[in-house]
Chains A and B, each alone.
Chain A
């Protein structure tokens, strides 16, 4: 008898799936029977310790430390971005997808690209007068950050080494001059934003990707050219991220399609959850702020610019619900700002259905 929609095949496949699984030894009988190498054991420990994606946060040079945060886990959203790209360029060892006000920058990984940082790279050239601050280098990390500070002039230079991922950096390319160049034979992109007189240099050596940000072109390039395996010779002070503000975020995808973010912000610090999903005009995003105390700014953000904002005073006894209405079709970030000097933490539940994640 003829059936519709392959129903018999589905049923047969389900029966076969069990046969297939049963044709292999019982996994419980094989537990603990093998001694793995140290390398493998360490690698798996890393995976369990930190298996998620990187949040990339790049500050702008506005008065407050406005941070753009990219949820790089959402590779699907990158796909959506590509379809909306106004211009697309596959150039050298990276892909730059350019929008009106920003670009997505993705470096190509290779078979040799480690899943985690295995070796620390660092500039051997440090300009005179700069102190060196850096996180502790951990080989279970996906990223390593350093900061060079000239206390006399107040100038900062930032450096990061990260693993190569499929996810994109969101870089500010509104009114910028972009220069394609070579760093020790590797392809790089130097972005100059005249408005802030800042230079952002991105490149990869095939193993890792690197970023250097500073205000002097020659210094940035000279430091980049000097980046090599760290020899331990520098006086590196611990980098206190809280001194400039920081954000900690964890998230859970709920069974009902909502996403719950637990956000902690240090004083007077703000973040933008960028490029989560494209929205349609008139879409409403309901954001539930958990019980708590303090002042929070919340609104929509698009391509580094706030589109709407709300000043919310958290309620200690009940949740606060904020409805954000999308003004025009497009991709939006959700902007969260700590408006007080004390640290703050709260839970955000987004009830936009994240269908592309299913």
Chain B
């Protein structure tokens, strides 16, 4: 006899955590999404996508770690909204290359600059980075995610994640070596 059957598996603790996260953050996520997309339907879609995205990363989220969790969810939401905007092509989303053009720093040794800068110098410098660079700095250095984990979270390739991180570090080094910071 041929028989085929499909079933679903459920993890009660994960479901509970998802509901808690949704109940706490849905207003904020909607607010961010609506602010970026200016459309109720698109904002709801982005919110849905945001929670789908964090489904795969629940183990890294805690209801109690409020600012860490909040940063995670906000980054996910903003990335999703940026993807929507890119698809719409209604606004000029600044490309990574264009951000690079603004760096103009003949820095070959950003590692050395970063490693010799103080915490407060870098804290200030990160504030002045482009949003995508701020986000990847958080994911890499505050959350200690691997390149592969970052790629999965941002839905980009691992090589794109590494490239974005490299650009973020160059931008950071450029800020640190300029007079803009300190």
Contacts and interface: CB of A to CB of B under 8 A. Distances in A.
Interface in A1-23: 1-4, 6, 8-22
Contact of B28 (A19, A24, A50, A247): A24
A42 to B, nearest CB: 11
Nearest to B34: A34
A43 interface: yes
B64 to A, nearest CB: 14
Contact of B74 (A24, A50, A158): A24
A160 interface: yes
B95 interface: no
Chain B CB within 10 A, most for which of A6, A25, A50, A160: A6
Nearest to A147: B3
Given A30-B27, A44-B48, A24 B5 contact: no
Contact of A24 (B9, B70, B126): B70
Nearest to A69: B7
B122 A18 contact: no
A118 to B, nearest CB: 14
A65 B1 CA distance: 8
Interface string B49-70: 0011001000100000011101
Contact of B1 (A18, A33, A59): A59
B4 A54 contact: no
Interface string A137-161: 0000111010100000010111110
A213 B26 CA distance: 43
A16 B30 contact: no
B7 A30 contact: no
Nearest to B31: A30
Interface residues of B, number: 65
A71 B37 CA distance: 37
B23 A31 contact: yes
A248 B52 contact: no
Contacts of A194: none
B32 interface: yes
A47 B18 contact: yes
Interface string A345-358: 00000000000001
Interface stretch (A175-183, A250-258, A305-313): A250-258
B81 to A, nearest CB: 13
Chain A interface size, under 10 / 10 to 19 / 20 to 34 / 35 or more: 35 or more
Given A27-B28, A52-B9, A19 B127 contact: yes
Interface string B118-129: 111111011100
Given A6-B115, A8-B115, A55 B47 contact: no
A80 to B, nearest CB: 13
B3 A32 contact: no
A27 B27 contact: yes
B1 A156 contact: yes
Interface string A26-67: 011111111011011001100111111111111101000101
B14 to A, nearest CB: 7
Chain A CB within 10 A, most for which of B9, B119, B123, B134: B9
B12 interface: yes
A3 B28 contact: no
B48 to A, nearest CB: 6
15 contacts: A3-B116, A6-B115, A9-B114, A10-B141, A12-B125, A13-B141, A17-B143, A27-B28, A28-B24, A30-B31, A31-B23, A47-B55, A52-B9, A55-B6, A65-B3
Given A22-B67, A246-B5, 9 more contacts: A2-B115, A2-B116, A6-B114, A12-B123, A44-B48, A55-B9, A67-B5, A73-B9, A250-B9
Please give me the 6 A-B residue pairs with the lowest Cβ-Cβ distance, nearest first.
A30-B27, A13-B141, A12-B122, A21-B67, A143-B6, A27-B28
Interface of B: 1-15, 18-19, 22-28, 30-32, 40-41, 44, 47-48, 51-52, 55, 59, 66-68, 70-71, 74, 112, 114-123, 125-127, 134, 137-138, 140-144, 172
